[in-house]
Structure 1
Amino acid sequence: MIDLLILLLLVAGIVLVTARWKISPFLALMGAAIIGAFAFRLPADEIVTTVTTSFGNTLGNIGLVILFGTMIGVILERSGAAIAMAEALIKVLGTRFPNLTMSIIGYIVSIPVFCDSGYVILNSLRKAITVRTGVSALATSVALMTGLYATHTMVPPTPGPLAAAENLGITDNLGLIIAVGLPVSAVAAVAGLVYATFLSKKEFTPLPAESEQDITTQSYEELRESYGKLPNAFLAFFPILLPLALICAGSIAKLPSHPMGEGTVFDVVAFLGTPVIALIIGLFSAILLLRGNGKMARFNEQIHESIRVSAPILLITGAGAAFGAVLAASSITGFLSDHLTGLGLGLAVPFLIAAALKSAQGSSTVAIVSTSAMLSPLLGSLGLDSPEGMVLSVLAIGAGAMVVSHANDSYFWVVSQLSRIPVATAYRTLTVATAIEGLAGFGAIMVASVFLL
């Protein structure tokens, strides 16, 4: 019982120092790992080894995948490929159903691009469609926000799901996470779309355009022109679809039935489907998006930016793994195993823990990393230690990490301020939308579990 109290105090400490005092999540998780090691009475000569080994192993296994995935996302963002993808989808979908169009655009763009960046990039397009169709800006904002959020928390190569896959030991089966995550996240996005449609006629008094809080007043035409000539639509989609297809093909090749045999074809597909190799190939295909004079200089600049963006995520992922390793080495694992086995909570545990951490401290990525680190030693007692159980656990954590976005979440402010939505209105709409989306995603996961577990 004392060990459970220690665990609760450690989690509360992580939330307190990150949410109230704005301490780096990396330092909070690393501090919790070291303090927890002493509190759980681990042998002093094993503490440093436990922390550093788990930190190093995790970055060795998943670090390059996160880094290359981030590189692809930054190039797509800076080259205008995200705008090119959006325009290609509009040509197919039209603007007759603006909420649906924005939701689908967000759903696809956020697979490689962070949801915050995706909203900044696509906001001018959203405003243009809103004016053209006469639908409420509140509706298109919610549709774009929830579309971006769905894949951001559930579909690799977004860093959060990648880190969770590593912490739970399922990185060799990313293809299954993608294959299940795409339809599950689609259900979550549809739930957000339905709520957005409910808001289609809802009026609100926007923040004044001259407000300092209104981050940008750039029109869509000005944004589009700032990128110069946009990339070809096929080339824009290719760096996303190619690595996803390779990873899925690699997972299929490794199925116990060996559908591709065990010879040269298997070796080639399995190698190309390795996440690091697939993303390296995707990165090289993204280079085709760079045109004109000085493209190598721009490429180098974007690579440096990718390293800057991914560094905090890598550190948080490693620190989360260290915290999880301390928990795994402590007696708390046996205590929780004995008491959780008979409760039948299953996938509700990762969902609820992630939702609590997300709501308390704001960052979806921190919630995903922290929850997966804590959950790893408990998979067996929850009946989730099969490959399918671990995949569903990753998705349940992602669904929980949507619930709920409010004032302590940077994404809440990006959406509300770019869309000029007053804070009170944002609480009643944006926050509610993320709660609906997360719960719908978890419902889809529970349905999937009937067939997979």
Structure 2
Amino acid sequence: MTSLLILLVLVAAIVLVTARWKVSPFLALIGAALIGAFAYRIPMGEVVTTVTTAFGNTLGNIGLVILFGTMIGVILERSGAAIAMAEALIKVLGTRFPNLTMSLIGYIVSIPVFCDSGYVILNSLRKAVTLRTGVSTLATSIALMTGLYATHTLVPPTPGPLAAAENLGVSDNLGMIIALGLPVAAVAAVAGLVFASTFSRKEFTPLPAENDDDLTRQSYEELRESYGRLPGAFVSFLPIVVPLALICTSSIVKLPSRPLGEGAAFDVLGFLGTPVIALIIGLAVAALLLRGHGKLERFNDHVQESIRVSAPILLITGAGAAFGGVLAASPLTGFLSDNLSGLGLGLAVPFIIAAALKTAQGSSTVSIVSTSALIAPMLGSLGLDSPEGMILSVLATGAGAMVVSHANDSYFWVVSQLSRIPVATAYRTLSVATAIEGTAAFATIWVIGLFLL
């Protein structure tokens, strides 16, 4: 029982120092790892080794994946490819179904691009669609927000799912995580879309326009012109489609049945589908989006920006793994094995823990990293130590990390301020939408678990 109390105190401390005192999650997690090591009486000579080994192994396994994925996202954002993809979808869907259009655009764009950045990029487009169709700003804002959020927390190569896969020991099976994460994210996005559609004719009093920054005052035409000539739709989609296709193909050829045998095709496709290689290829394809004079200089600038953006994520991911390494080396594992196995909670455990951490401290990525580190020692006692169980645990953690976005979440403020939604209205709409979305995602994961576990 003492082991569990120590865990609860450590988690509460992480939430307190990150949410209330704004301490860096990296320092909070490293501090929790060191304090936990002493609290669990890990031999003093093994403390540093336990922390640094877990930290180093995790960054060694997924550090480059996160970095290259971020590079692709930054290039898509800076080159105007995200706008090009959005326009291509609007040409197909038209403006007859504006909420569906915004949800689908968000669903696709947020696979490589952070949801916060995605909303900033697409907000002018959302405003243009809203004006052209006469639908409520509330509806298109919720639809875009939930579409972006769905793939952000559930589909690699975004950092959260990648970190969870590493912490839970299935980073070599990203193809299956993508294959299951995409439909689960689709259900979550549809749930958000249905909720958004209830506000299609809902009027509200927006925040004054002067509260917006220069970007939000831009018209869609001005934003589009700021990118110059947009890349073509086909090449804009390729940096997303190519890596995902390679990773999924690699997973298929590595199935126990070996559908392509074990010859040259197996070796080549297995190599190309390795996440690092697949994303390097995706980055090379993304470089084709940069045109005109000085494209090499712009490419280098985007790489530098990617390193700056990904550094905090890498550190938080490594620190979360260090915390998990301490927990794995503690008596907590045995206690949980003895006491949780008969409760039948299964996939509900990662979902509930992630939801609690998300609601308490705000960051979905921190929630996913911390939860996956916490539950890694519990997988056996929860009956989730099979490959399928680990994959579904990654997804359940991502579903929990959607619940619930409110004032301590930067994404909440990005959406509400750019859409000029008052805080009270945002709580009744945006926060509720994320709760519905995350719950729908978990319900889908639970149903899948009935067949796979």
TM over 0.5, shorter chain: yes
| Contact 1:213 1:417 (8 Å CA) reproduced | no
Question: What amino acid maps onto 2:402 in structure 1?
Answer: M
Superposed CA RMSD: 0.8
Aligned-partner SS, 1:383: coil
| Contact 1:112 1:157 (8 Å CA) reproduced | yes
Counterparts of 1:17 and 1:118, CA distance in 2: 29
Aligned-partner SS, 2:217: coil
Counterparts of 1:365 and 1:218, CA distance in 2: 30
Match of 2:315 in 1: 315
Aligned-partner SS, 1:343: coil
1:144 equivalent to 2:144? Answer yes
Match of 1:228 in 2: 228
Match of 1:333 in 2: 333
1:366 equivalent to 2:366? Answer yes
- Cα deviation per residue 1:161-207 (whole Å; 9 max; x = unaligned)? 00000000101100000000000000000000000001111110000
Equivalences for residues 159-308 of structure 1 within 5 A: 159-211=159-211, 216-308=216-308
- Give 1:214 shift: 8.3
| Contact 2:368 2:401 (8 Å CA) reproduced | yes
Question: What amino acid maps onto 1:423 in structure 2?
Answer: V
Question: What amino acid maps onto 1:253 in structure 2?
Answer: V
1:26 equivalent to 2:26? Answer yes
TM-score between the two structures when normalised by the length of structure 1: 0.99
TM-score between the two structures when normalised by the length of structure 2: 0.99
- Cα deviation per residue 1:414-443 (whole Å; 9 max; x = unaligned)? 000000000000000000000000000000
Match of 1:126 in 2: 126
| Contact 1:71 1:302 (8 Å CA) reproduced | yes
| Contact 2:98 2:133 (8 Å CA) reproduced | yes
Counterparts of 1:373 and 1:64, CA distance in 2: 20
| Contact 2:120 2:414 (8 Å CA) reproduced | yes
Question: What amino acid maps onto 1:145 in structure 2?
Answer: M
- Give 1:216 shift: 2.0
Runs of 4 or more off by more than 3 Å in structure 1? Answer: 212-215
Question: What amino acid maps onto 1:189 in structure 2?
Answer: A
- Give 1:99 shift: 0.1
Counterparts of 2:74 and 2:182, CA distance in 1: 22
Question: What amino acid maps onto 1:153 in structure 2?
Answer: T
Identity over the aligned pairs, expressed in percent? 82
Counterparts of 1:366 and 1:243, CA distance in 2: 25
Counterparts of 1:392 and 1:101, CA distance in 2: 29
| Contact 1:106 1:147 (8 Å CA) reproduced | yes
- Cα deviation per residue 1:370-395 (whole Å; 9 max; x = unaligned)? 00001111111111111111110000
Equivalences for residues 33-44 of structure 1 within 5 A: 33-44=33-44
Question: What amino acid maps onto 1:451 in structure 2?
Answer: F
Compared with structure 1, are the counterparts of its residues 326 and 336 closer, same or farther at alpha carbon in structure 2 (3 Å cutoff)? same
Match of 1:116 in 2: 116
Aligned-partner SS, 1:210: helix
Question: What amino acid maps onto 2:29 in structure 1?
Answer: L
Match of 1:397 in 2: 397
Counterparts of 1:380 and 1:251, CA distance in 2: 24
Aligned-partner SS, 1:202: coil
Match of 2:350 in 1: 350
Counterparts of 1:204 and 1:380, CA distance in 2: 50
Aligned-partner SS, 2:216: coil
Question: What amino acid maps onto 2:26 in structure 1?
Answer: F
Question: What amino acid maps onto 2:208 in structure 1?
Answer: P
1:409 equivalent to 2:409? Answer yes
Compared with structure 1, are the counterparts of its residues 187 and 212 closer, same or farther at alpha carbon in structure 2 (3 Å cutoff)? closer
- Give 1:447 shift: 1.0
Unaligned runs of 5+ in 1: none
Aligned-partner SS, 1:229: coil
Counterparts of 1:230 and 1:101, CA distance in 2: 20
| Contact 1:214 1:417 (8 Å CA) reproduced | no
Match of 1:81 in 2: 81
Question: What amino acid maps onto 1:227 in structure 2?
Answer: Y
Deviates more, 1:9-18 or 1:202-211: 202-211
How many residues are treated as equivalent by the alignment? Answer: 453
Match of 2:11 in 1: 11
Question: What amino acid maps onto 1:343 in structure 2?
Answer: L
Aligned-partner SS, 2:135: coil
